[in-house]
């Protein structure tokens, strides 16, 4: 059973074409053959009429009536003492008949002249058949030649008719997972309309569900921020209170826990806000990526210096992109935050911003341990933190970055640095460059 619709259509149509061609060819051959035989009979009749009228006289065998067709004129007068086949020939009545001559089957037309003498116009059956087959074959030839052309046209028509379906599938396959844009039914064949309507219905429902979920996460994170802020204020107030030494240690742990929770809520909010943002990059303002990076690096410099990490730019060139300064800053901040977290004291973090052709590039290289190669493919997944997480991460930073980069129609890749015995992670973000 052929699974593909195209294959099935083509096989069915091919069978029909071949069958029609075969039946048509057989009938055409049969008719043409009979017609040719009849035509040759009428030639015999015409020759006989000419002979009878005296316009054609000949000897024992008349050639030249029709050289190729091997038509003979046999006069009974020329063979008075006939025997065998010849004698049997003259015993046949006037008219068309089948006979044998010199051991070969022939078609003869016998006639009697007014003076009583008889003659025969004869033709070898094998020659007649050959001529008839030839003519029949020439009738069938165009049909046979037409079949490959028909098959070719069928293949083209089938492929063309199914192309909208293939295009539809490609469109769906090539989509981002969260792209809920409805499929256009306009130029599609009407047979596909119910199908497209169903898919669009599904897309709408899934979109609605995703919106609800996003709003829920955003609301929950937002609602949780107020009590967490209150909690952290209370914990800070505890600093002023005279506490025994062991209780002070607990307060520090408590404040760290609250800090982690706040960070998680901030990341969740950032993610939810990112998902709810508008999708059309062309409507976004042009932002100087180099300026954004400079600001974030300046912000993080005190922390880096405090940790003994050399944070700076290895390359800083003007690079314009379409986006929002806040979300671009979130990209740079999350990447630098990771680099800082994983780079040991005395290490360095090199930031590069530059333009390469049509793309604006942001590259961050640290001198930390890098990411285990088995984990490299998963670090952009939400809540993934790997085997050796450092610090109080929520595991959301890179997934936020990835979503932002996707939305800005850019790409992001992370590779471990291995050259020259050094370790570390290099993250390269490529965004479509914009013009001023």
* Window 290 to 309, contacts with ligand ATP (CB under 6 A): none
For residues 30 and 435, what is the distance between their CA atoms, to the nearest angstrom? 77
CB-based burial label for 411 (10 Å; 0-12, 13-18, 19+)? middle
Distant-in-sequence, close-in-space partners of 123: CB < 8 Å, separation ≥ 6: 40, 44, 69, 70, 71, 72, 106, 107, 108
Q: Which residue is nearest to ligand ATP (CB)?
A: 397
Instruction: Classify residue 84 as left (phi > 0), alpha (psi -120 to 50) or beta.
Output: left
Q: How far is the CB of 12 from ligand ATP (least distance, A)?
A: 54
Residue 164, contacted partner among ligand ATP, Mg ion, none, CB below 5-8 A by kind: none
* Window 354 to 373, contacts with ligand ATP (CB under 6 A): 366, 368, 370-371
* Window 242 to 301, contacts with ligand ATP (CB under 6 A): 263, 267
Taking residue 414's Cβ as centre, other Cβ atoms within 10 Å add up to 19
- Only one of the segments 36-44, 280-288, 334-342, 428-436 lies at the binding site for ligand ATP (rule: CB under 6 A); that segment is 334-342
Residue 74, contacted partner among ligand ATP, Mg ion, none, CB below 5-8 A by kind: none
Greatest Cα-to-Cα distance within the chain, rounded to the nearest angstrom? 159
Q: How far is the CB of 396 from Mg ion (least distance, A)?
A: 7
What would the x/- binding string for ligand ATP be over residues 371 to 410, using CB under 6 A?
Answer: x-------x----xxx--x---xxxxxxx-----------
Q: How far is the CB of 393 from ligand ATP (least distance, A)?
A: 3
Q: Establish if 43 lies at the interface with ligand ATP (CB under 6 A).
A: no
Q: How far is the CB of 391 from ligand ATP (least distance, A)?
A: 7
- Only one of the segments 29-37, 142-150, 239-247, 331-339 lies at the binding site for ligand ATP (rule: CB under 6 A); that segment is 331-339
Reduced to 3 states, what is the DSSP secondary structure of residue 428?
strand
Considering the complex, state which of residue 266 and residue 324 has its C-beta at the smaller distance from Mg ion.
266
For residues 138 and 163, what is the distance between their CA atoms, to the nearest angstrom? 39
For residues 370 and 253, what is the distance between their CA atoms, to the nearest angstrom? 29
Residues near Mg ion (CB under 5 A) are 338, 393, 397
CA dist 407 → 161, 217, 272, 386, 410 (Å) = 34, 20, 13, 25, 7
Residue 347, contacted partner among Mg ion, ligand ATP, none, CB below 5-8 A by kind: none
For residues 325 and 23, what is the distance between their CA atoms, to the nearest angstrom? 75
* Window 164 to 193, contacts with ligand ATP (CB under 6 A): none
Q: How far is the CB of 263 from ligand ATP (least distance, A)?
A: 6
DSSP character string of 235-284: HHHHHHS---HHHHHHHHHHHHHHHHHHHHHHHHHHHHHHHHS---GGGS
Go through the chain and tell me how many residues it has. Answer: 436
Q: How far is the CB of 221 from Mg ion (least distance, A)?
A: 17
Which residues form the interface with ligand ATP (CB under 6 A)? 263, 267, 334, 338-339, 342, 366, 368, 370-371, 379, 384-386, 389, 393-399, 425
């Amino acid at each position: 059973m052929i699974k593909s619709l195209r294959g099935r259509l083509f096989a069915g149509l091919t069978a029909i074409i071949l069958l029609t061609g075969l039946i048509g060819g057989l009938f055409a051959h049969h008719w043409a053959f009979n017609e040719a035989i009849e035509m040759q009979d009428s030639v015999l009749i015409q020759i006989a009429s000419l002979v009878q009228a005296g316009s054609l006289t000949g000897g024992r065998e008349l050639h030249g009536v029709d050289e190729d067709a091997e038509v003979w004129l046999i006069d009974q007068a020329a063979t008075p003492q006939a025997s065998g086949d010849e004698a049997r020939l003259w015993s046949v009545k006037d008219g068309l008949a089948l006979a044998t001559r010199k051991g070969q089957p022939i078609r003869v037309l016998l006639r009697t002249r007014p003076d009583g003498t008889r003659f025969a116009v004869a033709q070898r059956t094998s020659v007649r058949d050959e001529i008839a087959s030839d003519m029949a074959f020439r009738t069938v030839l165009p049909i046979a030649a037409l079949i490959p052309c028909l098959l070719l046209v069928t293949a083209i028509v089938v492929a063309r008719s199914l192309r909208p379906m293939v295009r539809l599938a490609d469109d769906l396959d090539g989509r981002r997972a969260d792209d809920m844009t409805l499929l256009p039914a306009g130029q599609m064949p009407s047979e596909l309309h119910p199908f497209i309507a169903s898919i669009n219905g599904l897309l709408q429902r899934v979109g609605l569900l995703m919106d609800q979920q996003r709003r829920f996460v955003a609301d929950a994170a937002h609602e949780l921020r107020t009590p967490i802020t209150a909690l952290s204020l209370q914990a800070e107030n505890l600093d002023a209170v005279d506490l025994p030494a062991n209780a002070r240690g607990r307060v520090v742990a408590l404040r760290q826990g609250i800090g982690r929770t706040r960070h998680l809520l901030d990341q969740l909010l950032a993610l939810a806000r990112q998902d709810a943002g508008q999708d059309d990059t062309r409507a976004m303002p042009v932002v100087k990526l180099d300026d954004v990076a400079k600001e974030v690096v300046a912000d993080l410099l005190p922390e880096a210096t405090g940790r003994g990490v050399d944070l700076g730019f290895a390359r800083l060139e003007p690079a314009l992109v379409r986006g929002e300064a806040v979300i671009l800053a979130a990209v740079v901040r999350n990447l630098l935050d990771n680099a800082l977290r994983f780079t040991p004291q005395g290490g360095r973090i090199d930031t590069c911003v530059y333009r390469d052709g049509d793309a604006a590039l942001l590259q961050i290289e640290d001198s930390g341990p890098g990411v285990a190669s088995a984990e490299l493919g998963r670090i952009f997944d939400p809540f993934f933190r790997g085997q050796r997480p450092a610090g109080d991460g929520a595991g959301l930073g890179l997934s936020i970055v990835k979503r932002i980069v996707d939305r800005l129609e850019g790409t992001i890749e992370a590779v471990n640095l291995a050259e020259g015995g050094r370790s570390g992670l290099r993250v390269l973000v490529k965004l479509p460059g914009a013009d001023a």
